[in-house]
Structure 1
Amino acid sequence: MHVRIRDVTTLSDDWYLLKKTTFDYRRRDGSWQTMSRETYDRGHGAVILLYNLARRTVVLVRQFRFPAFGYGGRHDGYLIEAPAGLLDAASPEERIRAEVAEETGFHVEHVQRIFDAFMSPGSVTERLHFFVAEYEATHRIDGGGGVAAEGEDIEVLELGIDTALAMIADGRIEDGKTIMLLQHAALHLFPRR
């Protein structure tokens, strides 16, 4: 055992769960150090990149994110992202199929899990399951846009992979999970010209 929990205090249980934990941590030299950390538990999630090899395109979404907007007033709050959502007790595969349909209007049957990652392990417990799936125009069942009752107002974007990668370089795409998926696509999915 390298951790002994001393105390756990709930600081907030409104939108998600924010706790403060005091614990003893055994250092590499064998000594114990008492620490205190706040952790934000919002559950685990899944994210997907839809791609079309023949057309060299990807499907992303654009939506308002209040924490980005609140960043010192220097951002309009609109982020371009890969479709994503919390698992809500579903399997990652089930949830990402439902999420991509809600957000983009595309129905994809086969999804490929490529890796899992903790996105902000210094304070957030969330672990994301990353997926990719090929899409065709015939897979579009409606216009997407998200679930209005959940506050979603989502614009669907179909971009060339080269354009999407350029948008990372020039700062138009700033979302970490999306950058990871686009870089994976550039390295493993789209053949170099």
Structure 2
Amino acid sequence: MKHDRAGHRVWTRPAITVSTAASTVTAMCALALFMVWAMADPGPEPEGSEADSGAAAVFLLPLFFAVLWAVSFALTVTLVLPALSLARGTGTRWGRAGAWWWVPAALSAVTAAAVTAVAVACGSFGAVAAPPVYLWWWLGVTALLTPSGLLARLVNLRAAEGRPGPRADRVLFMGCGGLAACFGVFLTAALVTELVT
């Protein structure tokens, strides 16, 4: 286990699992918002295309969830927990150690470095995008991972105090329940709007 300067454990199994669960839920919410946006503004359909059946999506859902969990785990290990360690070190050095706002600040720095590294790597292959594209990626990844970092911080703080923190299964259950509730509200609003107009 890695420790910060104060001797606290930074990388704990509960922090990793809760952060991975939170990243999975926020990614599912982002994908759901993208799907809703795509349904609201479908754009022109190419000629000769037919509507796909939703049955294939039901069978591919477990595979999709497994891939999403693996990506969330990779993001937790490469971005969230290093940012959490940076937040603790910075907070200890500059005052107010353990304050929650160090986590989003550290995450923005770590994700900026990651997006810059990806931009440089893509640039070496000649695939250069406009600067606003990288800015949007930085903002999106930071926003996606901030809840994960805050929950991992909470788990570590409660473990240091000897109290139980949020568990990964509860984060997934509550997140998926919230996502289903949001979809229910959206579909109800769409149905009411369709009936009224």
What is the TM-score normalised by the length of structure 2?
A: 0.28
Kindly indicate whether structure 1 or structure 2 has the higher relative contact order, using CA contacts under 8 Å at least 6 residues apart: 2
What is the TM-score normalised by the length of structure 1?
A: 0.28
